[in-house]
């Protein structure tokens, strides 16, 4: 072995040190999985890596990505929001009803966002002020209430034929890029800054890491939690607006089960159910992994039933990897003792 | 005489770090053998090997003279070795009796049998009585005090016919009185011929109950000797490896400063009532009492973390309303909690975040944008000042040792520059070296004018640090002792309900 290669090996050894490798894996593991999957699909189907198809994946992932972002905030606080799918459905209907009543698109959108945020805030208020034992309860309640209201308000039928300037947000494009994709990227960038560069974002991580310690450090825990659930509701409303625009209708059953896809994206993206851990980019990658899986299996002519099965397996594997990481961390702790 | 358990030449490394280096250790039948050493000395690793949690790289285990191999804790249990961990492993929803016989309810037939509830409770009662306690075996464990829970764990070991009991720092959550009772229990075990390995940080306890002592330091055995042939000074020296003349350097009482915190008639029904006292600038006031006397509840109420129904709090003679910890911090209060794991640290967050939390908004741009540079600056200064050993300020706080984690908690509150520092058991479960540094810090803060309210279950700590000591009993302040008149006996007398 020449001297250069042996020093190169030493470099590799240094880079592969477990204490450095582990956080790297945590950060880039999901991305690596996405790239590997995309590579495999590109080889299996010549159609996969075309510009249109990639845009298609992004567009199809957009609504899930928005719901997942809200879910991420909630999961970082060690909570869960089961109501996002129903809030999305209700907001679809609300936006359509506003538009049918002759309200201008901009006002309809603003009102829908405000109502979605208010529904989320209600979740937060119920959880913190009524001291309900777990956010599972108020959001489970909201899930049913919002879906029921969507059906009541629409009479159970889709409200179709929406104005062009509203549909632009879900079906339009700017410079060849679909609007949903642009919206997702802008919102994700904003939330990345929010979570990493503001004290409020850091409070959210602290609350998920140890609620009691966060409270005793002077963090207004209840107020932060209410904010988080309100944001989740607002993002669900945004997803509803995009979906209604894309489908050209307010469909009261839109988003049934979507909360579970959102949770899956967050978990695949490396967030921990125990709270305190999770990133915005990881969640985007998680949503894209689900999008790529669906798209790729479509291209390969695999039935939709199998797609669901595969996604189920991916979720379990992702969490299992998380458990392995935790255990490796534990071992490092023992080692220091 | 044949040793009950013998560990010979035990060596254990974790990924290149030597945790134990050729350690010999033995326990005789009917002996209480104390195992002491600082955090990281290798006590836990050695005991994990004796319990079959880890296997040694080199060395062997002998049980009653026969070489044994322990692969899992089950193997150790089968031999008759049981450990009572610091974190008690009981199921709170189940009764005392169910916990004692967990996994193996007494039944007649081997293959299948209904649980014989009455038999089980009767046997549980006998076991507890044998330990000198009449605890109702039907009570749910969630209602028990920590001391009673420990007793259940010990009874559980006896139910499985243990011959060797390992107690890992059993007294750290106990009050003095409860400690006394635990010692009586240990004496009973010994009289029955059981052996006990007793891990502790507290010097004084050794002389009360141990027959022999072994000191570990940096993974090596430094000494093993009958307790009667050692002195505390010798043991501390063996533990830390250097001379410690001023374990508690004398501190002369100084003139009081101006009053800074005044509490009048503070009451929270069922927790504490009619609490009135004043703390002055630069004064260290001790708060003594048994566990459950309401000390933690009181300091947490002062800090806005618990509710109180009546009474007033004054800061520098201005009445203040403190409803949340954020209010308290704004008024210049700080609180080190009694449980750093549950209430102190955010384990996966970095050391920096853990230090900066209470002041992050103050140093942030526009009150909201994280100012990483200022944060790094503040954190690094405090870490240096407190001599915190951490690979960097960006490492997660959970990788630090207990003592260093506690220093991170203290650093957090130094960043606030508190006028009144509430400290609830600030040296619980940390090693001697870190303890002394924290004592130093407390004195230095007082000298700089900070008022300190020190809750502690270690009387020695209170007597040496505090200018005066308030004693609580059942939620009331029942006495106040000046530094000169505070003896262990006087404090205990008041704390157990004797008249002042």
* Per-domain residue ranges of chain A: 29-324
Q: Is the pLDDT of residue B494 over 70?
A: yes
Question: Do the domains B259-495 and B5-240 match in fold?
Answer: yes
Q: How many CB atoms lie within 10 A of CB B489?
A: 10
Percent of chain B at pLDDT exceeding 90: 57
Q: Is the pLDDT of residue A7 over 70?
A: no
Q: How high is the mean pLDDT of chain A?
A: 89
Q: Is the pLDDT of residue A28 over 90?
A: no
State residue B110's pLDDT score: 60
Mutate to test the interface with B, among A194, A199, A207, A330 (most CBs of B within 10 A): A199
Confidence of residue B106 (pLDDT cuts 50, 70, 90): low
Supply the CATH classification number for the domain A29-324: 1.10.3470
Confidence of residue A1 (pLDDT cuts 50, 70, 90): very low
Confidence of residue B248 (pLDDT cuts 50, 70, 90): low
Q: Is the pLDDT of residue A26 over 90?
A: no
Pairwise CB contact (< 8 Å): A335 & B328? no
Mutate to test the interface with A, among B357, B366, B394 (most CBs of A within 10 A): B357
Q: Is the pLDDT of residue A8 over 60?
A: no
Q: Choose among B45, B346, B399: nearest Cβ to A333.
A: B399
Pairwise CB contact (< 8 Å): B39 & A337? yes
pLDDT tens digits, A129-146: 998 989 999 999 999 999
A216 contact B CB<8A: yes
Q: Is the pLDDT of residue B206 over 50?
A: yes
Q: How many CB atoms lie within 10 A of CB B496?
A: 16
B366 contact A CB<8A: no
The better pLDDT of the pair B474, A120 is held by A120
Q: How high is the mean pLDDT of chain B?
A: 88
Confidence of residue A321 (pLDDT cuts 50, 70, 90): confident
The CATH number, out of the four listed (3.40.50.10480, 3.40.50.970, 3.40.50.2000, 3.40.50.300), of the domain defined by the range B5-240: 3.40.50.300
Which chain B positions have a beta carbon within 8 Å of A214's beta carbon? 346, 357
State residue B251's pLDDT score: 60
Nearest Cα residue in chain B from A275: B348
Cα–Cα dist B445/B414, whole Å: 9
Residue A194 main-chain phi, psi, to 5 deg: -60, -45
User: Across residues B351-378, what is the average pLDDT?
Assistant: 93
State residue B113's pLDDT score: 67
Q: Is the pLDDT of residue B73 over 80?
A: yes
* ipTM for the whole complex: 0.83
State residue B450's pLDDT score: 95
pLDDT tens digits, B399-432: 888 889 999 999 999 999 999 999 999 988 787 7
Confidence of residue B190 (pLDDT cuts 50, 70, 90): very high
Confidence of residue B243 (pLDDT cuts 50, 70, 90): low
Cα–Cα dist A53/B284, whole Å: 71
State residue B293's pLDDT score: 87
| Least-confidence region, from A18-27, A112-121, B220-229 | A18-27
Q: Choose among B40, B325, B353: nearest Cβ to A337.
A: B40
pLDDT tens digits, A179-235: 999 999 999 999 999 999 999 999 999 999 999 999 999 999 999 999 999 999 999
Which chain B positions have a beta carbon within 8 Å of A279's beta carbon? none
State residue B276's pLDDT score: 96
Confidence of residue A337 (pLDDT cuts 50, 70, 90): very low
Which residues fall within 8 angstroms of residue B214, CB to CB, at 6 or more apart? B25, B33, B34, B35, B36, B221, B223, B224
User: Across residues B292-297, what is the average pLDDT?
Assistant: 90
Q: Is the pLDDT of residue B108 over 60?
A: no
B255 contact A CB<8A: no
Confidence of residue B311 (pLDDT cuts 50, 70, 90): very high
Nearest Cα residue in chain B from A208: B346
| Residue B75 token pair | 């193997």
Pairwise CB contact (< 8 Å): B325 & A200? no
Top-tier CATH class for B259-495: alpha beta
pTM for this prediction = 0.79
User: Across residues B231-236, what is the average pLDDT?
Assistant: 84
State residue A4's pLDDT score: 47
Confidence of residue A13 (pLDDT cuts 50, 70, 90): very low
User: Across residues A81-95, what is the average pLDDT?
Assistant: 97
Q: Is the pLDDT of residue A18 over 90?
A: no
Percent of chain A at pLDDT exceeding 90: 71
A332 contact B CB<8A: yes
A308 contact B CB<8A: no
The better pLDDT of the pair A109, A334 is held by A109
| Residue B133 token pair | 């306690």
Percent of chain A at pLDDT exceeding 70: 88
| Least-confidence region, from A154-168, B20-34, B98-112 | B98-112
Pairwise CB contact (< 8 Å): B346 & A214? yes
User: Across residues B361-389, what is the average pLDDT?
Assistant: 92
Pairwise CB contact (< 8 Å): A210 & B367? no
Q: Which of residues 149-208 of A touch B (CB under 8 A)?
A: 196-200, 202, 205-206
């Amino acid at each position: 072995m020449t001297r250069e290669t042996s020093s190169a090996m030493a470099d590799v050894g240094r880079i592969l040190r477990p204490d450095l490798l582990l956080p790297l894996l945590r950060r880039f593991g999901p991305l690596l999985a996405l790239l590997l999957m995309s590579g495999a699909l590109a080889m299996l189907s010549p159609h996969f890596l075309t510009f249109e198809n990639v845009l298609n994946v992004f567009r199809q992932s957009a609504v899930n990505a928005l719901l997942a972002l809200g879910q991420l905030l909630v999961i970082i606080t060690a909570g869960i929001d089961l109501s996002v799918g129903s809030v999305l459905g209700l907001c679809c209907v609300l936006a359509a009803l506003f538009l049918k009543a002759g309200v201008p698109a901009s006002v309809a959108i603003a009102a829908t966002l405000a109502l979605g945020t208010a529904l989320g805030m209600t979740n937060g208020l119920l959880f913190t002020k009524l001291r309900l034992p777990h956010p599972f309860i108020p959001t489970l309640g909201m899930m049913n209430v919002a879906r029921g209201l969507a059906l009541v308000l629409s009479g159970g039928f889709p409200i179709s034929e929406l104005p062009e300037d509203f549909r632009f947000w879900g079906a339009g494009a700017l410079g060849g890029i679909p609007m949903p994709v642009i919206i997702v990227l802008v919102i994700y960038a904003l939330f990345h800054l929010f979570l990493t560069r503001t004290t409020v974002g850091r409070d959210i991580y602290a609350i998920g890491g140890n609620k009691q310690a966060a409270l005793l450090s002077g963090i207004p825990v209840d107020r932060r939690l209410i904010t988080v659930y309100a944001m989740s509701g607002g993002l669900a409303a945004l997803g509803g607006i995009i979906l209604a625009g894309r489908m050209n209708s307010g469909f009261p059953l839109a988003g049934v089960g979507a909360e579970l896809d959102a949770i899956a994206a967050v978990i695949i993206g490396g967030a921990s159910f125990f709270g305190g851990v999770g990133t915005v980019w990881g969640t985007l990658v998680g949503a894209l992994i689900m999008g790529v899986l669906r798209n790729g299996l479509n291209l390969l002519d695999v039935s939709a039933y199998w797609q669901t099965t595969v996604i189920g397996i991916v979720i379990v594997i992702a969490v299992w990897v998380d458990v392995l990481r935790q255990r490796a961390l534990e071992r490092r702790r023992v080692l220091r003792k | 005489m044949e040793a009950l358990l013998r560990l010979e030449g035990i060596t254990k490394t974790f990924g290149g770090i030597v945790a134990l280096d050729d350690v010999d250790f033995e326990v005789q039948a009917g002996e209480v053998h104390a195992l002491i050493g600082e955090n990281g000395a290798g006590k836990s690793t050695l005991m994990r090997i004796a319990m079959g949690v880890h296997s040694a790289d080199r060395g062997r285990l002998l049980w009653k003279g026969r070489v044994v191999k322990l692969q899992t804790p089950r193997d150790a249990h089968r031999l008759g070795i049981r450990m009572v961990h610091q974190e008690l492993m009981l199921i709170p929803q189940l009764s005392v009796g169910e916990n004692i016989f967990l996994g193996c309810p007494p039944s007649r037939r081997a293959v299948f049998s209904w649980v014989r509830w009455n038999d089980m409770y009767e046997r549980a009662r006998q076991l507890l009585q044998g330990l000198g306690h009449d605890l109702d075996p039907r009570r749910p464990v969630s209602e028990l005090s920590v001391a009673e829970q420990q007793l259940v764990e010990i009874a559980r070991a006896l139910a499985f016919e243990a011959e060797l009991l390992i107690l890992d720092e059993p007294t750290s959550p106990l009050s003095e009185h409860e400690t006394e009772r635990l010692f009586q229990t240990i004496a009973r075990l010994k009289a029955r011929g059981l052996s006990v390995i007793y891990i502790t940080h507290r010097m004084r306890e050794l002389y009360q109950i141990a027959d022999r002592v072994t000191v570990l330091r940096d993974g090596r055995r430094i000494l093993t000797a009958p307790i009667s042939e050692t002195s505390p000074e010798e043991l501390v020296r063996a533990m830390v490896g250097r001379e410690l003349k001023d374990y508690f350097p004398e501190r002369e009482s100084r003139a009081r400063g101006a009053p800074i915190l005044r509490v009048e008639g503070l009451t929270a029904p069922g927790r504490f009532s009619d609490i009135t006292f004043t703390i002055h600038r630069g004064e260290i006031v001790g708060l003594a009492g048994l566990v459950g006397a309401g000390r933690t509840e009181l300091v947490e109420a002062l800090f806005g973390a618990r509710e109180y129904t009546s009474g007033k709090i004054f800061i520098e003679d201005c009445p203040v309303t403190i409803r949340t910890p954020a209010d308290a911090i704004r008024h210049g209060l700080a609180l080190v909690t009694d449980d750093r794991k549950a209430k102190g640290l955010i384990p996966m967050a970095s050391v920096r975040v853990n230090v900066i939390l209470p002041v992050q908004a103050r140093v942030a741009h526009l009150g909201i944008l994280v100012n990483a540079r200022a944060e790094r600056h503040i954190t690094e200064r405090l870490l240096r000042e407190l001599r915190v050993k951490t690979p960097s300020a960006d490492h997660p706080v959970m990788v630090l040792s207990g003592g260093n984690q506690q220093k991170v908690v203290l650093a957090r509150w130094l960043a606030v520059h508190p006028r009144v520092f509430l400290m609830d058991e600030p040296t619980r479960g940390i090693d001697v070296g870190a303890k002394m540094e924290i004592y130093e810090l407390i004195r230095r803060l007082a000298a700089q004018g900070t008022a300190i309210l020190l809750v502690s279950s270690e009387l020695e700590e209170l007597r040496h640090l505090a200018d005066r000591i308030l004693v609580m009993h059942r939620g009331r302040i029942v006495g106040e002792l000046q530094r000169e008149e505070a003896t262990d006996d006087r404090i205990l007398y008041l704390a157990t309900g004797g008249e002042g």
